[in-house]
Structures are given as C-alpha cells and as structure tokens.
Structure 1
Amino acid sequence: MSRLVVFTDGACSGNPGPGGWGWAVSPDGEPSGSGGETATTNQRMEVYAVLDAIRTLGADGTPLEIVSDSTYVVKCFNDRWWVKWERNGWKNSKKQPVANTDLWKPLIEVVQAGDVTFRWVKGHSGDPMNDLVDRLAVAATPR
C-alpha cells in the first residue's frame, strides 16, 4: 500500500487568540479537513491538524506521511521528544508541564498504532500544498 502524503497547518490570530487548523491530501488537496477554536494557540492548532488528519485518514491502517511546517510537531516524532516527556512525567526539558498534553497523548497513541512518518517543509516558501493548508487554517479561524 503506498503512503498517503498529507499536509497539515495551524494558524492563530494573536497567540493566544482565535485559531484554525487544516489538512489536505497531496497532490490535489482532496480530501481535506479544517476547523477552529475561539481561544487557542498556534502550536495547539498545529497539533490538532495532525491529530484530525490521522484519525480521519489513517484509522484503517493507511500508511501516512505527515508534512508540516511545525518543527514542534515534526521534531516531537522524528527526534522522539514524546519519549522523554512521558519518562519525565509530561515535563519538558525546563521541568515545566508540556503544553497541550490533552492533544499530544491521543496523537502519540494514533501514531504508535498506525504507520505514520513525518517530514518538515518550510512555511510560506511557495510550496503549493503548504500554502493550501495555510489558507484552510486561516479560513477556519473564528472571526
């Protein structure tokens, strides 16, 4: 089974403030998903976009490649930050509580249960799919 490439993004108007998230399947942007929250952060929206994409597209075991401009998301998995977070009682390297654990825990669970890889893409650099998911996230931000 070939790996489905999914671009994800989060946006926030103010940080914190109203925010949105979006995801879309490459190369043509379909299917896609988006949503928003009235009071959130950009990082929270980045994580939520990935969680929703995997829950929607990977539930049947479809191999996924998540492409994100969030180093927070990509490094969490590629550099295995989550392993240290769990080992340290959900504290980061500064001994502070890890933000967004209510999203990280289920995201880690679905990533471990599936076949998911992560790749970073530079944001706002002209990548058509990254630009598309940015537009989806911005459009989903509550006004």
Structure 2
Amino acid sequence: MQWLENAPHGALHIYTDGACSGNPGPGGWAWAVAPSGEPYGSGSERPSTNQRMEVRAVIEALRAHRDHLEPLVIVSDSTYVVNCFRQRWWQGWLSRGWKNSQRQPVANRELWEDLFDELVRRGSGKTVFQWVKGHSGDPMNDLVDTLAVQATGT
C-alpha cells in the first residue's frame, strides 16, 4: 500500500473526528467536506473509545466517497490515525503479524483492517493523511468535532 505525502492540486479535503463521552462510553464520529462542510456524515457506537471513533470516522468518509476518483485528503486531529500512515506504523503491524512495537496485539485491529480495505479499494496514491491541531480554531475541525460530540447522544 502506498499513500501520497502531499496533497495534489484539486484534491478533495475531508475532515474527520471522533468523540467519546467517557472512555469507554458512548462514541460518535463525523466527517465533512471542506470548505463548506457539506456533504457530511455522522454516527455513533456504544460503547466505544475515542480512538475507535477516530478510525471509524475515516472509514465512513472513505465509504461515502467510493465513487470519487480524484485524490482525497483526510484531515484529522488524531495522531493515532495520521501517524499510522505518515510514520508508516501499518508496515510494522503487518510485518509483525498485527503486533505493535511492544509486541502486543494492535488495538482496534478490525477497524484498521476495514480502513486498509477502503484504501486499497481507492488505489495506490489516492489518499493523503494530514494532521490538524484540535481545538485550535480551524473551522472545519471545529465543525466535525461538534458533529461527533452530537452523535454521542450525550
């Protein structure tokens, strides 16, 4: 699997976020297309964790854009999600048989497998992961945060 390091001109930017009321607790995820915030999607899982919801948000964003053939930029405030690809954690996980660097089972493996399936379906070099600082005033990040929190139902 390969992912682009930089966003090509004209790529569609999709912001994602996950939230959890308690950890674990009721979880919510959301995605929205920049710059307008539309279309968007959100949902929930109970019980869940913050990390599960961050990964789920990306999966659902990719599923919603399966027919979009141009590159996508997934913008997330989750280092858990972004570093998996930017720092190539996934390569180590696969080479170690789904064990992390401490030789423990990778958390949320079933979600990561779903995410990898979506990325493979999109094709090599069609997805970029970009980090944004959470709660820093970025309007799109604030929007998906609000949607994810609302989706928790709390």
TM-score, with length taken from structure 1? 0.95
Displacement of 1:110: 1.6
Structure 1, unpaired ranges of 5+: none
1:27-64 alpha-carbon deviations (Å, 9 max, x no partner): 01000000011200000000000000011113442310
CA distance in 2: counterparts of 1:111 and 1:72, whole angstroms: 17
> Is the 1:21–1:140 contact (alpha carbons within 8 Å) kept by the matching residues of 2?
yes
After TM superposition, give the deviation of residue 67 of structure 1 in Å.
0.2
Equivalent positions of 1:1-143 (< 5 A) are 2-114=10-122, 115-143=126-154
Return structure 1 stretches of 4+ with deviation > 6 angstroms.
Answer: none
Q: Calculate the TM-score normalised by the size of structure 2.
A: 0.89
Give 1:109 deviation, angstroms. Answer: 2.1
Conservation of the 8 A alpha-carbon contact between 1:58 and 1:64: no
Partners of 1:19 and 1:110 in 2: how far apart?
22
AA partner of residue 30 (structure 1): E
Distance 1:136 1:80 in 2: 29
CA distance in 2, matches of 1:74, 1:24: 17
Distance 1:62 1:136 in 2: 26
In the TM superposition, residue 113 of structure 1 has moved relative to its aligned partner by: 3.1
Number of residue pairs aligned between Structure 1 and Structure 2: 143
Unpaired segments ≥5 residues, structure 2:
1-8
CA RMSD of aligned residues (A): 1.3
Q: Please give the secondary structure, in 2, of the residue aligned with 1:35.
A: strand
